[in-house]
Structure 1
């Protein structure tokens, strides 16, 4: 068959075919995803786990290694790397390009649900982050005391949460600032159970009394001339001495 001769004999059919090919090509171009800065980073999930007071070897043995074993069996996992420091375990799982980030995050969370019950007491709930070229942390800052006479880890945590984080969020273009690690300030109350029983009081009553006098909660709102005023009940203990002065009954 002579293609040139056939085309000359059927000009309208050839024109229709050419138009159809052109329309299909244009539709394909218009429907193709376009991005000025395409995401070329493979799907990655970051898991950060904090356990205050734990040494790096202990974190590696009780947290990082169990996490690695559990996540190593996930479908599509290409690579995983981990970093362990005092009180902090960080594990990054990288998946094959064909896997959606949302699916990777879901599978990692399912793996965490299976392994976290075996973590030691005092281990915080692991934080899970999806990482792409758009969501990767731009800057990671680490704070630590300079010497024995400097601020404590609890004070550094408060500084990061209430000062540094707020200042960073004021910078134009900063969307989120996450704070993790450090020590949360806490007060340990030692109870003389015999004295408590001799006074006719219970441990539950003591806990309830402390909780009722150490609260910060919304107390209502009032609308005056179109302006809304919010009230807050703030009776948090300002220091350790005030905890000891708590009236139980």
Structure 2
């Protein structure tokens, strides 16, 4: 009775209230989300393997296809997308929306860990990460330091900048683009190899066997304890040529 009494006594006020309610309803209706088309974030798992110095065709044959064959039987996969580039392989798996992302990532890690012996020794271990379909690069920073080479700038970025950005809230991944790492290039004389009955693989195996750093135990006294290391890593040109 209260609303009807006010509407009769003050018709203009009642009309204004009705118009406001209609306007509020129209605005609210335009901002309602459709339940038939909800925002769905499908579980996505990414596998990345670096194979320095390998061409895209070799990466495709020796890494990408091996990974695809191994993980194709994981439960709940909707589709698999892969890309092979010079020096790197990336395989992306999208799972059904009812698949738990943590469980899916664990299943993929289990499958990938079983094929490590089938990958080239020169390739880096596979990196399995959980990805978001909405993830995107939000910012790029360009580094330039007069008097520093690109490998020196790369080393500085990986030591200091990547670590500081990685701990920021909301940052999922920090990647250094255009990086150049220190490397030693060795030219081999084919005539000398033939004279000694050696192959390139023999040289490679010898370098791998000699370029190591191993623990050699501890030396203890009444007051001190020393850790002994067998340091045989190559640090300069003379180490490689010796």
Q: TM bucket by the smaller chain? A: 0.5 to 0.7
Change (3 A) 1:52 1:109: same
1:213-228 to structure 2, matched below 5 A, reads none
C-alpha separation in 1, matches of 2:141 and 2:117: 29
Change (3 A) 1:243 1:142: farther
C-alpha separation in 1, matches of 2:53 and 2:129: 24
C-alpha separation in 1, matches of 2:156 and 2:90: 22
C-alpha separation in 2, matches of 1:94 and 1:140: 25
Q: CA deviation at 1:162?
A: 3.4
C-alpha separation in 1, matches of 2:181 and 2:159: 13
TM-score, normalised with respect to structure 2? 0.52
Residue in 1 that maps onto 2:171: 175
Residue in structure 1 matching 2:158, options 157, 161, 172: 161
Residue in 2 that maps onto 1:138: 137
C-alpha separation in 1, matches of 2:184 and 2:112: 30
**Preserved CA contact (<8 Å) 1:52 1:183:** no
C-alpha separation in 2, matches of 1:68 and 1:180: 27
Q: CA deviation at 1:240?
A: 1.8
Change (3 A) 1:116 1:127: same
The number of aligned residues is 170
Q: For the aligned residues, what is the CA RMSD? A: 4.6
C-alpha separation in 1, matches of 2:114 and 2:141: 30
Q: Which blocks of at least 5 consecutive residues in structure 2 are unaligned? A: 1-37, 143-147, 187-205, 215-230
1:145-156 to structure 2, matched below 5 A, reads 154-155=151-152
C-alpha separation in 1, matches of 2:41 and 2:97: 8
Is 1:122 the equivalent of 2:122? yes
User: Aligned with 2:182: secondary structure?
Assistant: coil
Is 1:104 the equivalent of 2:101? no
Residue in 2 that maps onto 1:14: none
Residue in 2 that maps onto 1:47: 47
User: Aligned with 1:80: secondary structure?
Assistant: strand
User: Aligned with 2:91: secondary structure?
Assistant: strand
C-alpha separation in 2, matches of 1:184 and 1:83: 23
C-alpha separation in 1, matches of 2:67 and 2:176: 19
Q: CA deviation at 1:40?
A: 1.7
Q: Which blocks of at least 5 consecutive residues in structure 1 are unaligned? A: 1-37, 144-149, 190-202, 213-234
User: Aligned with 1:92: secondary structure?
Assistant: strand
Is 1:240 the equivalent of 2:236? yes
Residue in 1 that maps onto 2:26: none
Residue in 1 that maps onto 2:85: 85
Residue in 1 that maps onto 2:227: none
TM-score, normalised with respect to structure 1? 0.51
